[in-house]
Amino acid sequence: MSFREIIIQQLFNGLLLGSFYGLVALGYSMVYGIIKLLNFAHADIYMVGGFCSLSLLAFFGGTFFGNGWLGIIAAMLITMIIVGLLGVLIERIAYRPLRDAPRLSLLITALGVSMILYNSVMVITGGEYKAYKTGLGFEGFSLGSVHVTYTQAILIVAAVSLMFVLHLFITRTMYGKAMRAISMDLDCCRLMGVNVNKIIALTFFVGSALAASAGMMAGVYYGSLHFFMGFVIGIKAFTSAVIGGIGVIPGAMLGGVLLGLLESFGTQIPFIGSEWKDVFSFSILILILIFKPTGLLGKKESERM
């Protein structure tokens, strides 16, 4: 491949990877913004989303009223609702009783939830890779000698539109306004008559639903699922959220795309083979946390943790 084609190929890989990271990062960022919790279980929600959609697809037989695309869309919507409710349930059982507890307890609880989720899936699936079969083919279009399937293109479009819908939800609706208000001052919102518990539950619903959609897209893209697949993407999505500025919604998307691009171009640098890919992104995370913990779009935080 020529230099130009490598660039196009990596640009495309980076965008696709980046939109997965962005979708997962949104959940981290929203939850962090609203209750200052680093939700370790979020990455496993992503993984559960993948498996949930796989079972639904198997249940539909891959199609919905005989249409492959309709089947996938239906599976995606139902997955988002189911996993969103799972997120609400987790918040209700594990995080709400500890809202005023020390931060260390809350973090350890999140770790416990994460362990429960991935071990449950491990027990159910027997710890094996599960093939993710869809009725979608490999037809597509070509840019130079770079082949792009329609599925890949649609995945990017779907991810971007989900982010856009979320952006509208946060900026244009009453619920979005309530979320932004709670992230500024929870107690004050309670005094102003905002139903804080309901809004926090809603935040978990939206964040988990987005992660679930990303999990499903990853299944479609990679063609297989594994119970531990959330772990690495969890750290990377968190990195994305931090790059963009944690708690800032457009920041999570920007961070996701940036990290995706950095990663796919980073592996093209000589001496950094693909086996060093994860080391590369973890190093970026550490460097950003050390030198610019507020991220690119984040505001200077004066509060002390």
Partner 1 sequence: MKEKQTAAARTAIKRDNPLAGLINRLYIIFDNKKIRYSVLAIAVAVLLYLPMITSLYFMEVMTNVWFNVTVCLGLNIIVGFAGLLSLGYAAFFAVGAYTTGILISHYGVSFWLTLPVSVLMAIIAGLAIGAPTLKLRSDYLAIVTLGFGEIIRLAARNLQITGRATGLVGIDRPVLFGMTLYKINHFYYAFLLVAILAIFVSYRLQDSRLGRAWKCIREDEDAAEAMGINVVAVRLYAFVIGSVFGAVAGSFMAVKMTAISPESFLFTQSVMILLAVVLGGMGKIPGVILGAFAIVVFPEVFRGIGEYRMLIFGLLLLVLMIYRPQGLWPERHT
Q: Which residues of this chain interact with partner 1, rule CB under 8 A?
A: 36-38, 93-94, 97-98, 101-109, 111-116, 119-120, 122-123, 127, 231, 235, 238, 242, 275-276, 278-279, 282-283, 285-286, 289-290, 293, 304-305
Residue 139 vs 303, nearer CB to partner 1: 303
Least separation, in Å, of the C-beta of 116 and partner 1? 4
Least separation, in Å, of the C-beta of 94 and partner 1? 6
Least separation, in Å, of the C-beta of 51 and partner 1? 16
Residue 94 vs 181, nearer CB to partner 1: 94
Least separation, in Å, of the C-beta of 120 and partner 1? 6
Residue 271 burial (CB count, 10 A) = 5
Residue 127 vs 137, nearer CB to partner 1: 127
Dihedral angle of Cα 22, 23, 27, 33, to the nearest 10 degrees: 40
Q: Which one-letter DSSP state was computed for residue 225?
A: E
Taking the C-alpha atoms of residue 278 and residue 274, their distance in angstroms, rounded to an integer, is: 8
Q: What angle do CA 80, 133, 52 make, to 5 degrees?
A: 25
Least separation, in Å, of the C-beta of 141 and partner 1? 36
Strands (DSSP E) contained in the chain are 130-131, 140-143, 146-149, 224-225
Least separation, in Å, of the C-beta of 129 and partner 1? 16
Q: Which one-letter DSSP state was computed for residue 298?
A: P
Residue 77 vs 116, nearer CB to partner 1: 116
Buried b (16+ CB within 10 A) or exposed e, 14-25: bbbbbbbbbbbb
Q: What angle do CA 99, 173, 194 make, to 5 degrees?
A: 35
Q: Give the three-class secondary structure for 201.
A: helix
Calculate the CA 25 to chain-centre distance: 5
Residue 5 vs 278, nearer CB to partner 1: 278
Residue 56 vs 233, nearer CB to partner 1: 233
